């Protein structure tokens, strides 16, 4: 009997320590001509190492088309006042871990706030041209999700290398 009780307590502890499900599923697609790259949701939780970003190579003056889909994955909770923020900003090098400040080198930016009920989604599209050669970070992120059950933000990101 005590072994059974010990097993149940251990199993319950494992369940209680399991990480919370991610509150959002994100697909960020970046296309230039016939070439495209897609990034998916990552967690911006403390201690989580970001994944290596894919790189899309283009020529200066090419049109970049960005599409995103962001969906609440929580079947019950409503997340209030979440900002969906997209930006494309020049960075020092492809894959750099620090997000550049958005006070210079921004070639595109968009934001909107909304409440996400169970399974609600947001889709967006944006086109722009990058004229200056260099490396650029394209990122779609949530702002305000830290108050939700997961307690952290989500994002999807790609790098664009302009020749």
Predicted pLDDT at 12: 43
Predicted pLDDT at 148: 61
Question: What mean pLDDT do residues 35-62 have?
Answer: 90
Helix (H) or strand (E) holding 143: strand 134-143
**Contacts with 113 (C-beta within 8 Å, 6 or more apart), sequence order:** 81, 82, 83, 84, 144
Q: Evaluate whether residue 92 is within a structural domain.
A: yes
User: With bands split at pLDDT 50, 70 and 90, how would you rate the model's confidence at 26?
Assistant: very high
Closest to 138 (Cα-Cα) out of 79, 94, 83: 94
Q: Are 53 and 15 in contact (CB under 8 A)?
A: no
Q: Evaluate whether residue 127 is within a structural domain.
A: yes
CATH classification at residue 101: 2.60.40.10
pLDDT at residue 46 tops 80: no
Q: Per the confidence metrics, is the pTM higher than 0.75?
A: yes
- Ranges 21-25, 56-60, 124-128, 156-160: which has the least confidence: 21-25
Q: Evaluate whether residue 3 is within a structural domain.
A: no
Q: Are 109 and 66 in contact (CB under 8 A)?
A: no
Question: What mean pLDDT do residues 106-117 have?
Answer: 96
Q: Evaluate whether residue 91 is within a structural domain.
A: yes
Predicted pLDDT at 16: 37
Q: Are 123 and 29 in contact (CB under 8 A)?
A: no
Question: What mean pLDDT do residues 87-113 have?
Answer: 96
User: With bands split at pLDDT 50, 70 and 90, how would you rate the model's confidence at 51?
Assistant: confident
Question: What mean pLDDT do residues 49-58 have?
Answer: 91
Mean pLDDT taken over the chain: 86
pLDDT at residue 28 tops 50: yes
Q: Evaluate whether residue 144 is within a structural domain.
A: yes
Give the number of other Cβ atoms within 10 Å of residue 17's Cβ. Answer: 7
Question: What mean pLDDT do residues 104-133 have?
Answer: 96
Predicted pLDDT at 80: 92
Q: Evaluate whether residue 15 is within a structural domain.
A: no
CA 100, 41, 61, 96 dihedral sign is positive
**Number of structural domains found in the chain:** 1
pLDDT at residue 18 tops 50: no
Q: Evaluate whether residue 142 is within a structural domain.
A: yes
Range of the domain at 146: 21-162
Give the number of other Cβ atoms within 10 Å of residue 111's Cβ. Answer: 11
Q: Hey, is 21 helix, strand or coil?
A: coil
Q: Evaluate whether residue 59 is within a structural domain.
A: yes
């Amino acid at each position: 009997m005590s072994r059974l009780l010990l097993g149940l307590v251990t199993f319950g502890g494992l369940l209680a320590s399991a990480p919370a499900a991610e509150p959002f599923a994100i697909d960020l697609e970046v296309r230039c001509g016939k070439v495209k790259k897609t990034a998916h949701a990552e967690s911006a939780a403390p201690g989580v190492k970001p994944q290596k970003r894919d790189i899309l190579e283009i020529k200066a003056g090419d049109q970049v088309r960005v599409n995103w889909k962001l969906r609440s994955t929580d079947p019950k909770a409503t997340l209030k006042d979440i900002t969906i923020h997209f930006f494309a900003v020049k960075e020092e090098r492809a894959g750099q871990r620090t997000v550049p400040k958005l006070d210079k080198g921004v070639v595109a930016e968009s934001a909107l706030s909304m409440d996400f009920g169970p399974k609600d989604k947001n889709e967006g599209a944006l086109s722009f041209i990058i004229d200056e050669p260099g490396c650029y970070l394209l990122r779609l992120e949530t702002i305000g999700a830290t108050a939700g059950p997961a307690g952290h933000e989500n994002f999807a990101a790609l790098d664009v290398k302009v020749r």
